[in-house]
Structure 1
Amino acid sequence: MARTSRRREAAKLMAKPSVKAGSSLDKLKVDPDDRISKLPNDILLNILDRLDFRDVTRTSVLSRCWSQLPASLSRLKISALSFMPSQTSISDDESGGTLLRINAVNAANAAVVKATKSMLAHRDPGGCTIRLLSTVFYLRGDAPISIGHTVGNAMATHRVEKAELIVLTEKKGHMCSIADLANYGTRFVSFFNECHNAFAGLTRLYLENLSFRESDFVSNILVTCKQLNYLGFFNCDTEDWKPLQVEHAQLSDLSIVDCCFDMVELTWVPKLTWLALEILGSPEEPPLVLGYVPLLRVLRLSTIARKMVKLSSFLHETSVRDLTLGFKCEKIWVQPESLTRRQAYVFQQLRILNLVKIPEGYDLTWTMFFLEAAPSLEELYMMVWEHRCEMEMNQEFSKNKGVEWESRTSNFKHHRLAKFILVGFQANDYMVSHARRVLKAAVNLQDVYLYDRLVCAKCQNKVEVARMYDAVVRGMCLGVNLPIKFPYTNEDQRAVQKRMPRGIGSLAKIHFLTSKEIRAEHLPRIIGGC
């Protein structure tokens, strides 16, 4: 009987598509076991806050309840990248690809404008606080100014805790000419001048591929954006190469990467805790002056310098705990020192050290200076790499890249170092000797991770790199001077292990890993340092 009645009900619904039948269909669409929709709104909103904007909009068609939730979201994240078709990301170098990408950028920008206005228009100004208002868009057409006005109005009429603008360009950094950078810089200045209200309330700002005609324009950004906690520049410069002076009361994170500034002077940044600086071609060495930065804890500094730098003087009024130094496969610009007690104070708080792109083939004994200077060091990362597409092909840089140092302390022991990670390891005498040196000094060392060379991202599309292939071909691809001698086989690994702890008594475990086996906890340090 039950089966017969169900068949009759189904027949009625199919034979009479009336309003009543439609409501029955709506009921059938609702899963009686849908427990998610029955959750409290605050939990549902917490779920939606973690989704991409396009996924949030899709949920609004599930039911009337779901359709009302987006107006109460605490985190509004609207990105043009979500509206970009995937195929355009590889079309820059193809015939007609530029026009295709521009059209896609225009469409994505229009979608961001529409979505931003729609999301904010449906919110109650006296309702819940907007914890984060984040918009990602391209610096093209009228969209930036429209978005800027919308964001500025939202700040004036709603409670907004954090506001973020990520400003992209339709061309990628490596594709931009000098004219492109100047054009983008002009566009941004117009955008900035039209939307002061939006910039005045920003807490995060990221800019890329801009060249500013006026050297003090970056200072104007800092003066206007008084609430900034984070400021990021990528591939930016000023035409007259004047120093960039930074004074800001709220700034805690500053990132200046692949930029051409004569000098960055952190005159007064009392809340700065994180700094990443990669300056290209600066005549100053190093291109950074650390003024009043009492809270600086994380420093990433990558540059090419001809002169030696004494870190004890350079970092004299900081308490850096996490330090990354990049050498770009060129000359070692750190001067190992025999520290006095007063100078040694600079390194007392150092916990993590990452030495990136040390030129290959040079003695590594100088790095032991850091172990002696930093008694609290717990993790030591080193990347030895010499790659032609990363190097300045200059005879002045091609010789005398190494530095000599001899410890005045015999039988030095370090008691805190627990992890030693060496990327670009080869079974050459100078590398095996250095690993043995660290094992001998670090008496409580637990793990040593020896990685093969990384594969250059710029070469991946040119040559399919296999794990085992002819050393000469691989050396040509990677642009290195020495053949690779990484111990891939168990037999070779055992031979290397026997050469290291002999007569030392170290209990550290030695791990041999290829570049495809980078551990999750090492990945941010290894890849992030490149």
Structure 2
Amino acid sequence: MMKEGQILSTIGLGEARERGRCGRRDSKREASTGASLSELPAEVQAFNGDRLSELPADLLLNILERVGTLDAVKTCILSRKMQKLPSMLSQIVIDLSSNDLVQMNGVVADVTDKILSTRSPQITIRKLKLKFFLSPSCCLSIGKSVGAAMVTQKLDAAEFEILSPRDLHLCSDAYRVLFAKQFNNFVRDCPDAFAGLTRLHLRNMRFGKSDLPNILSYCKVLESLSFLMCDAGIRSVLHIEHARLVELVISYGKFKTVELNRLPKLKRMAYNNWPYDENPLVLGVLPQLSNLSLGDACLSQKTLKLSQLLATVPSVSNLSLEFRSEKIWIQPECPKALAPVLAKLRFINLDNLPEECDISWTMFLLEAAPSVEDLSITVWDHKCRQESQNSYSTKTDVKWEPSNPNFKHKNLATLTIYGFQSDDNFMGYVSRVMQAAVNIKKVSLHDRKMCTLCTDKFPHADARPSSYPQTSVQKDSLKKKITEASSKASRAVIQFSS
């Protein structure tokens, strides 16, 4: 990694600004001062320095925009001719890891300022993406630079990903309140930047009751909003209304309920890990919602009815449900009651079902959703994702009414199962689906997924022995049994992972 001064001088800053600004670390944490060819991005290593600098400017820009902006700036040290190129980039992307940002947060602010302040207003910025820590001085510098560009230049898309200076799981409530206040000040001090922002990602913030509606009022063209460990207080209710929002992601907040009201353009919504028994999500007027992803461990007795949850959003075509290897938190329902809200559903993904659960309950979804083309199921006791390692006693098989043996599905084309085992649970299920899905083309069966973190974190945890077929003879034998049990000469191709 180059010193900060070298990066900044490439775009005309000369010597780096004072080290203490924006919490930058001392020189002991900085890497060597050289910028050898071997340190350049892989896309330009095929050239030597002289040949690279002789390329036409438009070709050089095409190469530089395939790497991060800081790498592009470092590359431009090769020649005086190239030092003007950073201010001509149409994509400005600074997306460092958290560890790198500890040392480089100030550089993000300075490089952003210099690139935006020295570029021609005639060059459209197709994409601006900045990740940075919530540091008041750095945020102000970035906000003022981006705000000025919003006013004076053409900017198609702008994204802020703002990290808190505290680890996600070690951040106290007091710090979350502090970070929210700092962010509110950032928004008020830089209204032009947020007025043109299209994507916003926030972490570790506890807002006041009126903060979030106020923030959204500044972000008039916002299309994507993501909250990670953000809320408005324990058991608070979040109301969101926005004319332009297309995507919303909420994870690990302490909201009692999330109410989505007037969001006429919302297409994608994900809500993960709601903590309370009340209805976690209330969907209002969302005429374009097509992708819905929900994930929770649900260690309580509360189960959700999809017929109620999706009553106002029959436009959903892609439904993903994540169970954290814990209890099944949706309630099997009569297909007649559920069919009106699943009429347009085409893709179903059921992730991390507990291994001891009979998966035949999932048939009720196929019966209620005649347009489904793809069904994917993952059965896995993914220990490092489980909320409680002692929660097996809370997991019971789902009670449901067996499906009509004469039920037929005309549109299902693909069935995929991860965690397949050669036992009655899986063999019977695959045969039943093939029997019902008269036009199924492909059945893809995989062994359990592997997670090194599970092994490292729980080295002594008991693992169920795998009965996944290993040899070609075993696989051929299972294919024959499944086909025979499906009671028809199926044309479906049954594939086992190699």
Measured against the shorter chain, the TM-score band is 0.7 to 0.9
User: Paired residue for 2:118?
Assistant: 122
User: Paired residue for 2:91?
Assistant: 75
User: Paired residue for 2:290?
Assistant: 297
Amino acid at match of 2:274: L
What is the percent sequence identity of the aligned residues? 38
What is the CA deviation profile of residues 209-261 of structure 1, one whole-angstrom value per residue up to 9, with x for unaligned ones?
2233x133222222221110000111223323211001000000111122221
CA shift in 2, pair 1:238/1:421, >3 Å: same
In structure 1, what is the Cα distance between the partners aligned to 2:452 and 2:244? Answer: 36
For residues 138-287 of structure 1, the aligned pairs below 5 Å read 138-140=133-135, 142-212=137-207, 214-285=208-279, 287=280
In structure 2, what is the Cα distance between the partners aligned to 1:123 and 1:436? Answer: 63
Structure 2 residue 451 is matched with structure 1 residue 439: no
User: Paired residue for 2:12?
Assistant: none
Please state whether the residue corresponding to 2:92 is helix, strand or coil.
Answer: strand
Please state whether the residue corresponding to 2:484 is helix, strand or coil.
Answer: coil
For residues 501-520 of structure 1, the aligned pairs below 5 Å read 501-504=483-486, 505-513=489-497
For residues 304-315 of structure 1, the aligned pairs below 5 Å read 304=298, 306-315=301-310
Q: How far does residue 56 in structure 1 lie from its aligned partner after superposition?
A: 1.8
Count of residues in Structure 1 that have an aligned counterpart in Structure 2: 446
What is the CA deviation profile of residues 81-112 of structure 1, one whole-angstrom value per residue up to 9, with x for unaligned ones?
3xx7xxxx5xxxxxxxxxxxxxx645311111
Moved over 6 A (4+): 394-397
Please state whether the residue corresponding to 1:206 is helix, strand or coil.
Answer: strand
Please state whether the residue corresponding to 1:134 is helix, strand or coil.
Answer: strand
Q: How far does residue 59 in structure 1 lie from its aligned partner after superposition?
A: 4.1
Amino acid at match of 1:195: C
User: Paired residue for 2:104?
Assistant: 108
In structure 2, what is the Cα distance between the partners aligned to 1:511 and 1:327? Answer: 26
In structure 1, what is the Cα distance between the partners aligned to 2:218 and 2:162? Answer: 17
Check whether the contact 1:359–1:401 (CA below 8 A) recurs between aligned residues: no
User: Paired residue for 1:449?
Assistant: 444
Please state whether the residue corresponding to 2:220 is helix, strand or coil.
Answer: coil
Choose which of 484, 487, 490 in structure 1 pairs with 2:469: 487
Amino acid at match of 1:510: I
In structure 2, what is the Cα distance between the partners aligned to 1:339 and 1:436? Answer: 21
Check whether the contact 1:134–1:163 (CA below 8 A) recurs between aligned residues: yes
CA shift in 2, pair 1:215/1:395, >3 Å: farther
What is the Cα-based RMSD across aligned positions, in Å?
A: 2.8
Q: How far does residue 173 in structure 1 lie from its aligned partner after superposition?
A: 2.4
In structure 2, what is the Cα distance between the partners aligned to 1:452 and 1:174? Answer: 32
In structure 2, what is the Cα distance between the partners aligned to 1:236 and 1:29? Answer: 47
In structure 2, what is the Cα distance between the partners aligned to 1:242 and 1:29? Answer: 58
Which of the pair has more CA radius of gyration?
1
CA shift in 2, pair 1:457/1:180, >3 Å: farther
What is the CA deviation profile of residues 121-145 of structure 1, one whole-angstrom value per residue up to 9, with x for unaligned ones?
21123x1222222211112352122
What is the CA deviation profile of residues 419-440 of structure 1, one whole-angstrom value per residue up to 9, with x for unaligned ones?
1111112222212211221122
Q: How far does residue 354 in structure 1 lie from its aligned partner after superposition?
A: 0.3
In structure 2, what is the Cα distance between the partners aligned to 1:384 and 1:445? Answer: 21
In structure 2, what is the Cα distance between the partners aligned to 1:337 and 1:172? Answer: 41
In structure 2, what is the Cα distance between the partners aligned to 1:325 and 1:266? Answer: 19
Check whether the contact 2:421–2:467 (CA below 8 A) recurs between aligned residues: yes
In structure 2, what is the Cα distance between the partners aligned to 1:106 and 1:300? Answer: 33
User: Paired residue for 1:424?
Assistant: 419
In structure 2, what is the Cα distance between the partners aligned to 1:129 and 1:144? Answer: 23
In structure 1, what is the Cα distance between the partners aligned to 2:78 and 2:389? Answer: 63
In structure 2, what is the Cα distance between the partners aligned to 1:135 and 1:392? Answer: 33
Check whether the contact 2:147–2:193 (CA below 8 A) recurs between aligned residues: yes
Check whether the contact 1:330–1:398 (CA below 8 A) recurs between aligned residues: no
User: Paired residue for 2:324?
Assistant: 328
Q: How far does residue 300 in structure 1 lie from its aligned partner after superposition?
A: 0.3
Consecutive unaligned residues of structure 2, counting only runs of 5 or more, are 1-47
User: Paired residue for 1:345?
Assistant: 340
In structure 2, what is the Cα distance between the partners aligned to 1:497 and 1:56? Answer: 53
171-180 or 109-118: bigger deviation = 171-180
Check whether the contact 1:182–1:210 (CA below 8 A) recurs between aligned residues: yes
Amino acid at match of 2:497: L
In structure 2, what is the Cα distance between the partners aligned to 1:79 and 1:393? Answer: 34
Check whether the contact 1:425–1:450 (CA below 8 A) recurs between aligned residues: yes
Q: How far does residue 307 in structure 1 lie from its aligned partner after superposition?
A: 3.0
Check whether the contact 1:167–1:206 (CA below 8 A) recurs between aligned residues: yes
Q: How far does residue 46 in structure 1 lie from its aligned partner after superposition?
A: 3.8
Question: TM (normalized to structure 2)?
Answer: 0.81
Structure 2 residue 39 is matched with structure 1 residue 45: no
